Structure 1
Amino acid sequence: MTVPVDAVPATAVVPVLQGLVNAVVEAAEERTSQMGKAISCRKGCGACCRQLVPISRTEGERLLAVLDALPVERRAAVQARFAAADAALAQSGLRDGLLDPEKRASKTDRELSTAYFALGIACPFLEDESCSIHPERPLVCREYLVTSPAELCAGPAQEGVAPVPVPKLSAAARGLQDETETWFPLALLTAWSQARRADPVNRTGPEWVQRFLKMLGSK
């Protein structure tokens, strides 16, 4: 791994975390292949892009920078999709709970995920049923692969879907900057940004990686 030597914000080490997750996923893919199974996920199959995508504060800040760097017209189109997702979640009654863990009314993550998927809200970064920011996609998206027929992923209960067993390193990113942090859905990125704390802490690259590995060991 190549990490920054100087003190940097947590967002600067996201590429390192992406590389770690990629390596774990590649190992899982190799094991799957050795078992005689094939990954069915392909470009143009966007069913999984309508699932609830939980991301960390650090990933959120990184993706806001990605959004800000888009050409003006494309950025406006993506922001419009974020606004539409926000409105749909507000109308469904899920929005407040997804943004504030204390308002989730004792619902489990699984229950929230199921209710979210039922709304059919596409990720605002989804274009032509493909991820338009694939190199910068969230860590959890990298960890989701299936060997079952692609069409099963669109089913309301996703019956018959066979995910590839992949260690969930993405969960360790949630407490990278503050161990009390939790996840929020990617679809509410712009809404989350309006209430996020603007108190970034700088650490050296090795220190950030050590914190990530510490969080990984506690999961």
Structure 2
Amino acid sequence: MAAEAHSTATLRLSVGDLRIVHPITVPTGPVAAADVVPALQGLVNAVVAAAEAGKAISCRKGCGACCRQLVPISRTEAERLLETVAALPAERRAVLEARFAAAEAALAAADLKERKGRPDRELSTAYFGLGIPCPFLEDESCSIHPDRPLVCREYLVTSPADLCAGPAQEGVTPVPVPKISLAARGLQDESEDWFPLALLMDWAKTRPKGGARRTGPEWIQKFLKGMSRKG
């Protein structure tokens, strides 16, 4: 079978006060939206690198307080994460599935599985108060760090790491990173909304089947248009 063809282009973007020049490689032919997630990860990484330049970042492997925050993900990212989980050995998948089930049960017990019109800030605060570790968290570090969600890449702090565990996040100083990850929401369907990463396996039970297929460049153009709308 012939290898899938890819094309590379250099993006030149103005994101807030940042000027980004970044090569991006995507499949040339029609693919599912999840297939361009690696390219989106690279783009987010480039924006984050520009935003953090010259700053003393205190985030380190082993300080996982932020991995107890509510992590909003899009359908497109969720589909990619399910592929990541499916590629793991059976024993590893079983461990993760048990963690996801425990997180889902904790959210259900706290009546936080459904948003019910709650403001995002209120929901996030209540979620963080439960102290639920991300199912991918191991030894206070992300076990899928190269494949972590886009929004996780955008959260960095310059304040002491131990402050991040405080319930009110007092004294925490995040790096002002443009949240281009928002453009992944509704990439396949503008009526879609985000859901917490901890509910990934629950979402998978009733997730939409099929979905549009576009060329890689077309998906990137759609993402960039989403950036301009949400910027």
Does 1:163 pair with 2:186? no
What is the deviation of 1:175? 1.3
For the residues of structure 1 that align with 2:107 and 2:166, how far apart are their CA atoms?
20
What are the superposed Cα offsets for residues 166-193 of structure 1, whole Å, 9 maximum, x if unpaired? 0001100001101111110000000011
What are the superposed Cα offsets for residues 50-76 of structure 1, whole Å, 9 maximum, x if unpaired? 000000000000000111111111110
Gap regions ≥5 residues in structure 2: 1-23
Q: Give runs of aligned pairs for residues 131-150 of structure 1, distance below 5 A.
A: 131-150=142-161
Q: Which residue is equivalent to 1:81?
A: 99
Q: Which residue is equivalent to 2:114?
A: 96
**With structure 1 as the length reference, what TM-score do the two structures score?**
0.93
What are the superposed Cα offsets for residues 28-55 of structure 1, whole Å, 9 maximum, x if unpaired? 111xx2xxx4100000000000000000
Q: By percentage of residues, which structure has more strand?
A: 2
1:205 to 204, 216, 224: 216
**Partner SS state of residue 3, structure 1:** strand
Does 1:26 pair with 2:20? no
Gap regions ≥5 residues in structure 1: 98-103
Q: Give runs of aligned pairs for residues 15-94 of structure 1, distance below 5 A.
A: 15-30=38-53, 33=54, 37-94=55-112
For the residues of structure 2 that align with 1:4 and 1:67, how far apart are their CA atoms?
22
Q: CA RMSD in A?
A: 0.7
What is the deviation of 1:200? 1.6
**Partner SS state of residue 52, structure 1:** coil
Q: Which residue is equivalent to 2:8?
A: none
Does 1:187 pair with 2:198? yes
Q: Which one scores higher on RCO, CA 8 angstroms, separation ≥ 6?
A: 1
For the residues of structure 1 that align with 2:81 and 2:201, how far apart are their CA atoms?
10
Q: Which residue is equivalent to 1:112?
A: 123
For the residues of structure 2 that align with 1:96 and 1:109, how far apart are their CA atoms?
12
For the residues of structure 2 that align with 1:177 and 1:146, how far apart are their CA atoms?
31
Segments ≥4 residues shifted beyond 2 Å: none
**Partner SS state of residue 96, structure 1:** coil
**With structure 2 as the length reference, what TM-score do the two structures score?**
0.88
Does 1:3 pair with 2:26? yes
